[in-house]
């Protein structure tokens, strides 16, 4: 699934990675565990039981669509079968033992959650905070899911699909949706949205925003939507000629040194709360139907009551182009590759600085790297076959 794809990506890029998950006690499960280990992923915290779920993915080159045929596990992970603290201890030890260092000596751990099996994910997130209060939590927001908002409230970094911000907030413009999500999840210091062929955007806040180098653009006063349009439009007039080789994308950034004035335009409209809750409940019910057999009740919680004013802090908005010259064979798992690359870049950055201050060039560099990794992944069939090694990524930047 998504987390295993992201873990494989990070492992191939040289990060120390462990996976907490569950696979079947069958030959398919053996193959999956073996493949993870070959790619540098520690599997000591993986539970084994039942039949391994699998998915056939049919790619139509003519219509540029995918059809997924999923066979679920007959023994999905239950909330009561995971000891979150023990699993996290096992996973962290699996990452650290090769370096012969203790948890106290290690840099801030980066924990990635794919937004599924949320009851267990919430336990692991809490256990991570108890072990290290400087743990960085990345949560993927692919689609509306039961209890996902509770997990997003704990996130330092949210990575969303191109659809999620609109489905979650009801906004019609991505810039407006980003600010609405910033109100809804005040802990998140970065909200990243992957846009496929349109690149990616990121909203940073606090010291991550003030550290970020800006380009020459000036933000439209109190209008994030117009500012994002201005950032993205600067590349629309560029040549449509497709280069022969993969090209490193461009990144532009603008910043508001005081986000408080944005509140007058973007303060959450509580009158729309019932409509938002209806969408979330419907999505949770659909997820329950897709995951038939799970015992957990189908519920949808809203964090709308936790929304507050944006503090008088900086906001930075970054827009990254897609990689020109990419060979597109199959986009399955491109978002997972992006997240895996981001986790590897974060682990490297906090390890080098021994702090959570990432520096002025981190995010622009990370968006470029993640986009290159995702583009290279799309050159092969399936979610993992073309995931690059670090040398392949470095070669793109050297060309």
Using CA atoms, how far residue 9 sits from 16, 137, 156, 188, in Å, is 11, 18, 21, 24
**Residue 101 confidence (pLDDT):** 58
Give the pLDDT mean for 47-66: 83
Using CA atoms, how far residue 82 sits from 20, 78, 194, 385, in Å, is 10, 7, 31, 30
| DSSP-assigned beta bridge partners for residue 193 | 160, 201
Give the pLDDT mean for 73-81: 82
Strands 190-194 and 21-23: unpaired
Between CA 152 and CA 144 the distance in angstroms is 11
**Of 78-92, 303-317, 363-377, where does mean pLDDT reach its minimum?**
303-317
Judge whether 50 lies within some domain. Answer: no
Per-residue pLDDT at 346 exceeds 50 = yes
**Of 113-117, 182-186, 229-233, 362-366, where does mean pLDDT reach its minimum?**
229-233
Total of domains in the chain: 1
How confident is residue 298, by pLDDT bands cut at 50, 70 and 90? very low
Residue 205, Cα to own-chain centre: how many angstroms? 17
Q: Which two tokens stand for residue 101?
A: 């260092």
Judge whether 39 lies within some domain. Answer: no
- The total number of residues shown for the chain amounts to 399
The residues near 27 (Cβ < 8 Å, ≥ 6 apart) are none
Which letter does DSSP use for residue 310 in this model? Answer: P
Question: Which value, to the nearest 10 degrees, does the dihedral of the CA atoms of residues 318, 379, 167, 316 take?
Answer: -10
Per-residue pLDDT at 279 exceeds 90 = no
Judge whether 17 lies within some domain. Answer: no
Looking up residue 340, the CATH number of its domain turns out to be 3.40.1190
Judge whether 97 lies within some domain. Answer: no
Give the pLDDT mean for 163-185: 93
Per-residue pLDDT at 303 exceeds 80 = no
| DSSP-assigned beta bridge partners for residue 67 | 58
| Mean model confidence pLDDT for the chain | 84
**Of 5-14, 29-38, 291-300, where does mean pLDDT reach its minimum?**
291-300
Between CA 49 and CA 327 the distance in angstroms is 39
How confident is residue 24, by pLDDT bands cut at 50, 70 and 90? very high
DSSP 368-388: HHHHHHHHHHTTSSTTTTTPP
Between CA 178 and CA 158 the distance in angstroms is 11
Q: Which two tokens stand for residue 65?
A: 């669509």
Contact 306, 200 (CB under 8 A): no
Between CA 183 and CA 156 the distance in angstroms is 14
Give the pLDDT mean for 258-271: 63
Give the pLDDT mean for 180-186: 91
**Of 118-122, 161-165, 293-297, 372-376, where does mean pLDDT reach its minimum?**
293-297
Judge whether 258 lies within some domain. Answer: yes
Judge whether 53 lies within some domain. Answer: no
Judge whether 313 lies within some domain. Answer: yes
**Residue 33 confidence (pLDDT):** 96
pLDDT digits (tens, 9 = 90+) for 191-207: 999 999 899 999 999 88
Helix, strand, coil shares of the chain, percent, nearest 5, are 45, 15, 40
Strands 54-60 and 65-71: antiparallel
| DSSP-assigned beta bridge partners for residue 205 | 315
Give the pLDDT mean for 152-167: 96
How confident is residue 299, by pLDDT bands cut at 50, 70 and 90? very low
pLDDT digits (tens, 9 = 90+) for 106-150: 667 899 999 998 999 999 999 999 988 888 999 999 999 988 999
Does 268 or 221 have the greater pLDDT score?
A: 221
Residues of the domain holding 122? 108-235+249-398
Between CA 251 and CA 162 the distance in angstroms is 18
Judge whether 364 lies within some domain. Answer: yes
- pTM reported for the whole predicted model: 0.87
Contact 341, 9 (CB under 8 A): yes
Q: Which two tokens stand for residue 206?
A: 């606090």
**Of 6-10, 178-182, 251-255, 260-264, where does mean pLDDT reach its minimum?**
260-264
Per-residue pLDDT at 300 exceeds 50 = no
């Amino acid at each position: 699934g998504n987390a295993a794809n992201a873990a494989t990506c990070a492992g191939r890029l040289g990060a120390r990675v462990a996976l907490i998950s569950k696979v079947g006690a069958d030959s398919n499960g053996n193959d999956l565990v073996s493949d993870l280990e070959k790619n540098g992923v520690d599997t000591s915290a993986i539970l084994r039981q039942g039949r391994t779920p699998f998915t056939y993915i049919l790619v139509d080159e003519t219509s540029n669509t995918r059809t997924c045929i999923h066979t679920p596990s007959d023994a999905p992970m239950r909330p009561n079968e995971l000891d979150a603290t023990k699993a996290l201890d096992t996973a962290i030890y699996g990452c650290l033992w090769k370096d012969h260092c203790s948890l106290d000596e290690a840099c801030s751990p980066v924990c990635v959650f794919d937004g599924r099996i949320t009851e267990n994910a919430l336990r692991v997130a809490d256990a991570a905070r108890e072990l290290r209060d400087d743990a960085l939590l990345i949560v993927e927001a692919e689609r509306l899911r039961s209890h996902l908002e509770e997990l997003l409230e704990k996130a330092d970094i949210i990575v969303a699909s191109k659809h999620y911000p609109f489905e979650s907030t009801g906004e019609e413009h991505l810039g407006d949706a980003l600010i609405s999500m910033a109100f809804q999840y005040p802990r998140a210091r970065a909200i990243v949205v992957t846009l496929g062929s349109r690149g990616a955007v990121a909203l940073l806040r606090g010291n991550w925003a003030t550290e970020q180098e800006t380009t020459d653009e000036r933000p439209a006063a109190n209008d994030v939507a117009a500012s994002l349009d201005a950032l993205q439009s600067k590349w629309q007039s560029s040549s449509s000629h497709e280069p022969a080789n993969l090209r490193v994308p461009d990144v532009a950034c603008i910043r508001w040194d005081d986000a408080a004035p944005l509140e007058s335009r973007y303060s959450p409209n509580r009158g729309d709360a019932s409509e938002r809750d209806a969408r979330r409940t419907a999505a949770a019910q659909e997820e329950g139907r897709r995951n038939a057999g799970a015992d957990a009740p189908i519920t949808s919680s809203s964090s709308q009551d936790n929304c507050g004013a944006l503090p008088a802090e900086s906001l930075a908005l970054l827009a990254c182009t897609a990689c020109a010259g990419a060979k597109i064979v199959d986009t399955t798992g491109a978002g997972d590759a992006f997240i895996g690359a981001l986790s590897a870049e974060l682990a490297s950055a906090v390890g080098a600085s021994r702090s959570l201050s990432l520096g002025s060039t981190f995010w622009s560099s990370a968006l470029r790297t993640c986009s290159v990794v995702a583009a290279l992944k799309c050159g092969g069939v399936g979610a993992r076959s073309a995931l690059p090694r670090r040398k392949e990524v470095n070669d793109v930047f050297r060309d």
